[in-house]
Amino acid sequence: MESTNRVAEIGQFLSSRRAKITPEHVGLPVYDAAKRRVPGLRRQEVATLAGLSVDYYTQIERGKVNGISESVLDAIARALELDDAERSHLFDLHRSALSSPQRVRSRRTKAVRPMVQRLLDGYTGPAFVRNARHDLVAANQLAYAFYSPLYPDQLHPDPSKAVNFVRFCFLDPRAREFYPDWDQMADGAVNLLRTDAGRDPYDRGISDLVGELSTRSDEFRVRWAKHNVRLHYTGTKTFHHPVVGDITIDYETMPLPADPGLVLTLYSVEPGSPSADAMTLLANWAATNLTPTASADHPAHTTGE
C-alpha cells in the first residue's frame, strides 16, 4: 500500500463512517430531506458537530492531513461516534499517512520463540498464534486438529503446510460448513484484517492477500469496500467440525508484545457440555491422526513475516 493510498484511505474511511449516521440520530434538523444526495451526514454537518470549519473538514477528507492535531482527530471521532476500534484505526491511518514513504516490505521469516511454543503445548484446549495477515503460524496439537478443515487433506492435516484463515473463509467451499454462521465470520475476518492493515500499511503479505482476495472473491471485495474495523479480544463462536460435529467455544485473544504482529488465541469449552464431549473426541482423534513428530518438532512454525 503506497503512502498516497493511505492518505486516500483516510477520506474513504471518514466518508464511510458519516454515511452510517443520520442527522436525526445526532439531533440535527433536516429541512431538505428530499434533496439530500448522500446517505447519512453531509460534510458540513460533521464539521458542525466537530466544531470545525466546513472547509477544514473537507480538506481532511480529501487527504490534506499534515498539521492535524490529536484533538482534531478526537473531535471528529466524537462527531462520528466512532467506537474504540474505529477511533484507533483513524489514528493508525493518520500516523501512516504522515510517516516517511517506505518500501513495501516482506517481513523476515523467524521461528516462534520456544517459550511461546511451550505455552501452546502446555494449554489443555486448542491454542494457536496468528500473524497480522492471519496465517496460522504456531499451534498445539488440539488446535491443529480443530482447524484440520483448513488443510487440503482435512482427515490427515499436515502442520508443516501454511494456511491462512481469511483465504480459507472466502476461497474454500468447506468454510461455509465449518462456520455455521458464515456471514458473521466473514464480516469479522475482513474487519480484523483491515484493522491489522491499518496498523502496518507497508506489510507486503497483507497487501498481497488483500489484492488476491479482492480479485478472486466478490464477497471479500464488497466487505473490504465498507471500511469496517473491529477489535477482537473475547467472545463465543460455534463451529461445525467434520469429525465431531458442532462445537461452541469461548475464546480469548491477546497480542504478544515481544513479537509485534503476533496474536495468541486460547479456546475453552464449558465443562460437562456437549461441546466438551466433542472436544474430548477431537483430542482422541488428534492423537491418532497427527503424528507425534509433526506435533512435537513444529517444523514450519514461523511467523511468515
135 by DSSP, 3-state: which?
strand
Report yes or no on 255 lying in a domain: yes
Report yes or no on 109 lying in a domain: no
In this structure, the answer to whether residues 8 and 150 fall within a common structural domain is no
Cell numbers at residue 65, please?
492531513
> Could you read off the pLDDT of 164-185 as tens digits, one per residue?
999 999 999 999 999 999 999 9
Enclosing domain of residue 179: 114-297
Report yes or no on 40 lying in a domain: yes
| Model confidence band, residue 9 (pLDDT cutoffs 50, 70, 90) | confident
CB 99 within 8 Å of CB 118: no
CB 142 within 8 Å of CB 283: yes
The structural domain count of the chain equals 2
Between 52-56, 63-67, 300-304, the lowest mean confidence (pLDDT) is in: 300-304
CATH number at residue 167: 3.30.450.180
Distances 199 to 20, 92, 223, 261 between C-alpha atoms, Å: 23, 6, 19, 9
Rounded-to-10 torsion of CA 22, 25, 29, 33: 30
Beta-strand runs (E) in 104-260: 127-130, 136-139, 234-241, 245-255
| Model confidence band, residue 141 (pLDDT cutoffs 50, 70, 90) | very high
Residues 6 or more apart in contact with residue 115 via CB below 8 angstroms:
none
Total residues belonging to the chain: 305
Between 14-28, 60-74, 90-104, the lowest mean confidence (pLDDT) is in: 90-104
Query: Kind of pairing, strands 234-241 and 127-130?
Result: unpaired
In this structure, the answer to whether residues 179 and 221 fall within a common structural domain is yes
CATH number at residue 70: 1.10.260.40
In this structure, the answer to whether residues 276 and 177 fall within a common structural domain is yes
| Model confidence band, residue 67 (pLDDT cutoffs 50, 70, 90) | confident
Residue 231 reports pLDDT greater than 80: yes
Task: Give the per-residue pLDDT at 139.
Answer: 95
Task: Give the per-residue pLDDT at 227.
Answer: 95
Report the distance separating Cα 27 and Cα 282, nearest Å.
54
Look up the pTM and report it: 0.86
> Could you read off the pLDDT of 34-52 as tens digits, one per residue?
566 677 898 999 999 999 9
In this structure, the answer to whether residues 139 and 55 fall within a common structural domain is no
The pLDDT mean for the chain works out to 87
